[in-house]
Amino acid sequence: MAKLKIVKFGDPMLRKVSRPVTEITPRIVTLIDDMIETMRAEGGCGLAAVQVGVLRRIAVIEVEEGNVIELINPKIIAFAGEQTEQEGCLSNPGEYGITKRPKAVTVRAMNRHGEEFEVSGSDLLARAICHECDHLDGKLYIDVQIRPLD
């Protein structure tokens, strides 16, 4: 595995829309492994492929230590409620903002074996799912930020 360089805010790459994964090649699997290593090394709880310079619809999330959720072509299929909490991004280290997000979401995605699955999460997991799915459409948390953190 390898730790990858993270693209930072201000780079136009982060505003691009990522393309769906049509075939899970060994290269995609390696990318996912490297994204997990990078996320952990940087102390984050989520990372999208665009953040390491790859415009593919892939994200990894680890809100609960040891429980990595790998999302390929994710789509949020349900959401409910509302939460207003602090949010940050590995592409904007040391900065945080207050955002409004759904309290709970359900996402449908493919795993690295090409199997479709659904996962539901609330609170931090729901925020992370929304945040990472936004990245795949070139959206950043500052777009939904109510105000910066004091």
- 24 or 88: whose CB is closer to Ni ion? 88
Residues 83-112: x where in contact with Ni ion by CB under 5 A, - otherwise, as a string: ------x-----------------------
| DSSP-based three-state secondary structure for 41 | helix
Output the CA–CA distances (angstroms, integers) from residue 85 to 89, 97, 118, in the order listed. Answer: 14, 8, 24
Residues sharing a CB contact under 8 Å with residue 65, sequence separation 6 or more, in sequence order: none
Calculate the CA dihedral of residues 31, 32, 34, 35 and round it to 10 degrees.
110
Size, binding site for Ni ion by CB under 5 A = 1
Query: Using CB under 5 A, which residues numbered 25 to 84 contact Ni ion?
Result: none
Asked about 87 being catalytic, the answer comes back as no
Judged by beta carbon, residue 41 or residue 116, the one nearer Ni ion is 41
As given in the structure block, the two tokens for residue 12 are: 């136009």
Pick the closer one to Ni ion by CB: 54 or 89. Answer: 89
C-alpha to C-alpha distance for 63 and 66, rounded to whole angstroms: 9
Cβ at position 35, least distance to Ni ion in Å:
12
Catalytic residue numbers?
A: 132
Binding site for Ni ion (CB under 5 A): 89
